[in-house]
Amino acid sequence: MKPLLLDLGNTRLKWTYLEERNASGAGRDLQVSAEVHVGSSLDSVLEKRWRELPRPSALYVANVAGEALGSALAAWVWNQWCLKPCFACSASHFGGLRNGYRQPDELGVDRWLAMIAAWKKYQAASCVLDLGSAVTLDLITADGRHLGGYILPGRRAAPAWLARHTGDEASLPPLPARITVEPGTGTAEAVAHGTAAAVLGVLRQALEVLREEAPRGQPESSPRLLLTGGDAADFLPACGPGAIHEPHLVLRGLAEMTS
């Protein structure tokens, strides 16, 4: 039996069995499955996708979807496997990485786990950009200090929020396939392009903060930019040639915490 890792997000759940470290010792191979849960009961999703899974030796969970879904998950897992999930939480430090929040447990566990994975792999100044229902950016210096971060509405959430607060939900536009910051020539374009421009503008600010944190006298090097989350692949071309797509940072961080 192997441990099962679960990233329970606001829109999707992603899971993988925890494999042994690969031959180089540099990491683990993750075979990740995913399912949208928003708009459905969690029980129905688990019955559909987890009923035939082999019983894991343990279940480790990163939950940002709320206490109610966490409780529903715990009940289903107990009924199915007689297991109690272990829910990860943010801490003040881990493996040389130091949480920059004044109250460390206030930091979203998904952000903390993504930073753990980034720090474990790169050990370098990094900006972790998570493009999901919300967009989060977290800044890590070359010596492992988390400087804090930024949070703003995601690509899908921002237009929906605007529609609700302008009384125009019925005309909520579809998202364009391409990420661009060109001025929109219609309302739908203006909303979509404005959302993208906001994300990329905050990203520029975050990278500048990291550059200013580089030690004096040290040759300036560009911080690593790591993209994760459901919209990461769409944003990757707009973030420049140095951007790196790391689609499973939360699960990789969870794997590190269980080691």
Q: Is residue 138 flagged as an active site residue? A: no
Q: How does pLDDT run across 157-192, given as a tens digit for each residue?
A: 766 666 665 656 555 566 666 677 788 887 777 888
pLDDT computed for residue 165 by the predictor? 58
Whether residue 51 is found in the same domain as residue 135: no
Whether residue 129 is found in the same domain as residue 243: yes
The answer to whether residue 197 sits within a structural domain is: yes
Query: 7, 43, 105, 110: which one is catalytic?
Result: 110
Whether residue 243 is found in the same domain as residue 130: yes
Under 8 Å between Cβ of 231 and 245: no
227, two tokens: 């993209």
Tally the domains of the chain: 2
The answer to whether residue 160 sits within a structural domain is: no
The answer to whether residue 150 sits within a structural domain is: yes
pLDDT computed for residue 24 by the predictor? 41
Question: Which range has the worst mean pLDDT, 12-21, 168-177, 187-196, 242-251?
Answer: 168-177
The answer to whether residue 67 sits within a structural domain is: yes
Which residue range(s) make up the domain with 244?
Answer: 124-154+184-248
- CB hemisphere CA count around 43 (13 angstroms): 8
| Predicted structure pTM score | 0.90
Name the band, by pLDDT with cuts 50, 70 and 90, for residue 26: very low
Least Cα distance to 129 among 27, 231, 253, 34 occurs for 231
Whether residue 83 is found in the same domain as residue 128: no
pLDDT computed for residue 46 by the predictor? 97
Whether residue 53 is found in the same domain as residue 144: no
pLDDT computed for residue 22 by the predictor? 53
pLDDT computed for residue 163 by the predictor? 65
